[in-house]
Amino acid sequence: MKLVGNLPAVQTCWVEEVQSLDVIEVLAPASCHFKTILIHKSCLGFRALVNVIHSCEGLEEFKYSFGSFQTEDEQSIIYGHDLLDALCSQAETLRVLHLDLGAQRTDIENRYYGHTGEDTAGLVDLSAMTHLGLDMDLMLCFARGLTGSDDDGPFSSIEQLPPQLECLTIYGYQPGMNARWDEILEELKEMIVDGDETVFTLRGVDEYLRYPMNNA
């Protein structure tokens, strides 16, 4: 990535089936010209993902899907708040974000790095975002923001989502698996209806979805 990331003509990076990327302290912030990064069927920890995101000077599309393997390595854990912090650094340009973590270990309560972004940054601050795909845990974590309310606090749905959103995809959801999720999504389905039109498209509520490359 370091070898080609600084070439202006190379704007897309696509990797598959990787468990490590030797990028920690290698890719400097805003050192790459990548606008699209696709990492599929992989198991990368948050430090690698955060470093890759920060290395882009104007990231427009970021997709990551968990692979069919698992590791007990602590470095493979995804810390939601640290990942959100990195994504918010690309808020003005990031249009497409899909994170299908599947069975990958995720921590949405704690933080590994110190907070470096806006105090209340969340999904609503991703001003360029038009297409978003997350599982429910991560969506609620990102919607609450970096210093938002806890799991028992209110979720105002549309008000906490990106303002330019055109399509929201929920990964790994099945009705009845979590009563609170059922309630939130039913309310959201009603809220996105505006007369004969919908505010944005909602996928993954009436059908079980995983990212096309993620069978985990």
Secondary structure string (H, E, C) spanning 109-151: CCCCCCCCCCCCCCHHHCCCCCEEEEEHHHHHHHHHCCCCCCC
Using CB atoms within 10 A of its CB, is residue 195 exposed (0-12), middle (13-18) or buried (19+)? exposed
CA atoms within 13 A on the CB side of 163: 7
CB 149 within 8 A of CB 120: no
Q: What is residue 75's DSSP assignment?
A: G
List Cα–Cα distances, 116 to 20, 63, 112, in angstroms: 24, 23, 12
pLDDT, position 216? 47
Q: Looking at residue 78, what is its pLDDT?
A: 81
The domains located in the chain, with CATH, are: 2-203 (3.80.10)
Q: What is the pTM of this model?
A: 0.84
Distinct helix (H) and strand (E) counts, the chain: 5, 11
pLDDT tens string 51-73: 899 999 999 999 998 875 555 55
Q: How many CA atoms lie within 13 A of 37 on its CB side?
A: 26
pLDDT at residue 3, as a whole number: 46
- Residue-level pLDDT at 152: 46
Which pLDDT value is given to residue 74? Answer: 59
Residue-level pLDDT at 63: 95
> How far, in Å, CA of 159 to CA of 4, rounded?
39
**pLDDT average, residue stretch 150-154:** 49
